[in-house]
Every structure is written in structure tokens, then in C-alpha cells.
Structure 1
Amino acid sequence: MDKLEKERQLNPFTAIWLHTREAIRWVLATKAWPYFFFLLYLAGISAGFISLSQSAMLELPLGAALLFAFVIAPVLLLIASAFMSVLYLWFGKIMKGSAAYKDVFKAVIAGLIPQIWLLPLILFFWIIAPEIFLSLTPKEDPFHVFLYAAYFVILMATSLWSIVIQSKGLAEAHRMATWKGFLTLLVPSAVMWIIMTYVIILLVFALAGF
């Protein structure tokens, strides 16, 4: 099978995990903006529910929780991704990268695909253990304790591997070595993660009175 045939058969939702650079290269070359904004919206929903699970102590009403997950979180993710892409572009240039802003932005969005994979898991836990997202009071029977542990282990593993994927995605966009992509991701993110976490917590607290 020649290279062109392989690219035609590439599925970025599966290839992104182990063949990140090839997947990023393929979506940058073949996909238009609506595709990336659809990915961003789905990843934003996932990020919204993850934020809720990390702020369950607030015991949000159902309406506020859904508003945050389906509307506010995707908008926040769009803003954060657009802004962080500026920083990744700037720091990547320092690392001798050569990407255009649109390619960095698209690579950042494509790197969110692992979060989209979490949506079926989130739906499963929303149905059988909604207190993970809505309440501080967990159920203490062995079955639910196992569910809570499984949820957070999967979430942690996906988050850690997402760092690898984002690093390779930025490296591909900038056409540089993966370790340079990792530094391009790490330095701006270390600062902005602190800021965004603070903003999200404030917003969720505000919604608690929705």
C-alpha cells in the first residue's frame, strides 16, 4: 500500500493515539474549518463535564450544570484554544518552528480528540453515577467506589497521554522535533493552566446560584 492510499484510509480518531504526527498532517491537509469547530465543540462538552466532576462540591442544579457543559465550556475552550495558539506560535518560533497561526490552531483542536473519546464514558457515568458531576456526597457501596476510581484513573491516563499528543501535534505544525513540541506546549501551558483553572472555578461558583 503506497503512502497516498494509507493517507486516504487514515482515521484521525484512531490514528491520533499512536500515529499522532501522521494524523495531524492529514487533517491539516484535508479538513476545512467546520470540521475543526465540530471537534472543538465536542471536546468542549467533555471538558465541561470534567470540570463539573472536579467541582462537584458545589452541588450545581441540573440546569446550570447542563448550561455549563453544553454552552459555556465549549465557548471557553474556543477562547482558550485561540489564545493559547498565539502563545504556542510565539514560543514555537523561538524554538525555530515555522508554522502559520491557522496550522497551530488546527493542530491544537485536533489534539483534543482524546477528550472526545471520553464522551461515551461521561454519558455512562452520568446515567449510573450522576453524583460525580452534581454532588459532593458519594455513594459508599463497593460498586460505586469502584466506579469513582475507574472514572478518575481513566481521566488521568487520558490527560497524561493527551500531553504527548499535543506535543507531537505542535511539533508537526511547526515542523520540528517532538521534544521541541513538548517545550512549546509546556512553557505557555504551565502559566495559563493556573489562570484558566482559577477563572473556571470562579465561573462555576457563580453558576451555583443559577
Structure 2
Amino acid sequence: MKKENDLLSKKEELNVWTSIWLKPRETVRYAINHKPMKFAVILALIAGIFDLLNGATQNNLGDTISIPMIFVLAIIVGPIFGIIGWWIGAGIATIVGTWLGGIGKFAELKMAFAITYIPIILFGFLWIPDYLILGEVLFIEDFDISFGKIIWLFFSGFISIVVGIWNFIITINAIAEAHQFSRWRGFWTIVIPATVIFVVLLLFFLPFIFLLL
């Protein structure tokens, strides 16, 4: 009995911020069983800020609006988008996963998805040295920078790619654990709706593309 209690105590002390990287399924199960939903909400709010900042850099938003305004939008609008994206993503994963034989409930998928935001949030703090070193270069298309900044830009980009790939793997495991099925089904739970959305968008924009040709 004492041994069982010791094991339970160790499990309750699981640190989701570190364990998610190498033990995603165990971490997600722990979070579903022990973490309050307000913890998931906070993760979604913070992740929304970094997602908007990443979108601003990818779309060269600094070419059209001021840099301070980008940060204001990230702080005010980012969390809203974060909550909306979290609900939609968890909802789609709940429905598609159920079709594939999963048993996860919406609340469980919401927690699972929120836990997958941890790598995004931790990587997001790289924004501090990024902005201190690169400044407005992060948000504009045409720029002339020093060799040292170019090196940092490649380093930051490489880290972003690695975290992105690892986050995709974590998400597969998170969905699989929430639905209590295989990682392959977790993979298809992501790929099937993504493919459907892509095809729908392609069919919608195809006439406009032909008009421009």
C-alpha cells in the first residue's frame, strides 16, 4: 500500500512544463485527471498572443502598420483568437476522433489541446532576444541587416522549425491519449480535417485564381 501511495504521489508531482517534451501521453493524461480547466484557458490565452506575433512576422505586417500597434493587437486580439482556435481545434478533434473510434469527450480534448500549447509558449519567450537583436526586421519584407543579425535570424528560424515539428508529434500523442487510441489514429484525426479544409478553400478560391490568370 505504501508503495502504491508513493507512486501516486510521484505522479501527482508531474511537471507538465518539462514532461510534455518526452512523455506527451502521460502528461496529457495527468493534465486531464488533475489540472483545472482554468489552467487550459490560461495556456490558450497566452498561446494566442504568440500565434498572432508569429503571423505578423510571416505576413510582414510591419509593412502596413506600426510595430507598437502589432504588439497591442497581439496582447488584446491574440488571446481572443487563442480561445476561439482552441475551442474549434478541440471540437474538430473530438468529432473526427469519435468517427475513428475514439472515446474522448470535448472537455478532455480541450485539456489535451491546451497542453500542446506549452512548447509554443516556451518557444515564444525567444521573442524577447529576437526583438532585442532584430527589431523591426521581424515584421518587414525589405530590410538590410548585418551578418550577425542574419546568423541569429537563421538560428531562430531553425529553432522554430524544430519546435514546430516536435509540437506536431506532441499533438498527435495528445489526441491519441485523450481518445484512447493509437498514434496513427491521432495522426489521421489531424490530417483528415486539415485536408478537407484545404480542398474546400481551394475550390472556393479557384474561380478567383482563374480570373487573375
User: Is TM-score (shorter-chain normalized) higher than 0.5?
Assistant: yes
Comparing 16-25 and 3-12, the one that deviates more:
3-12
Larger Rg: 2
Q: CA deviation at 1:38?
A: 1.0
Distance 1:108 1:88 in 2: 9
Aligned to 2:83: 78
Give identity over the alignment, percent.
22
Matches within 5 A, 1:4-153: 4-56=8-60, 58-59=62-63, 60-153=65-158
Kindly indicate whether the alpha-carbon contact (under 8 Å) linking 2:40 and 2:110 is maintained by their aligned counterparts in 1: no
TM-score normalised over the length of structure 1: 0.85
Comparing 12-21 and 38-47, the one that deviates more:
38-47
For structure 2, the residue ranges without an aligned partner over 5 or more in a row are 202-213
Residue 187, structure 1, aligned to residue 192, structure 2: yes
Q: CA deviation at 1:194?
A: 8.7
- Equivalent AA in structure 2 for residue 180 of structure 1: R
Q: Deviations over 1:72-130 (max 9, x none)?
A: 12211211221122211111011100011111111111111110011221111111212
Distance 1:175 1:83 in 2: 20
Measured on the aligned residues, the alpha-carbon RMSD in Å equals 2.1
Kindly indicate whether the alpha-carbon contact (under 8 Å) linking 1:20 and 1:169 is maintained by their aligned counterparts in 2: yes
- Equivalent AA in structure 2 for residue 53 of structure 1: T
Q: CA deviation at 1:58?
A: 4.3
TM-score normalised over the length of structure 2: 0.84
Tell me, what secondary structure is at the counterpart of 2:145?
coil
For structure 1, the residue ranges without an aligned partner over 5 or more in a row are 197-210
Q: CA deviation at 1:195?
A: 8.6
- Equivalent AA in structure 1 for residue 16 of structure 2: P
Distance 1:56 1:71 in 2: 19
Distance 1:184 1:194 in 2: 16
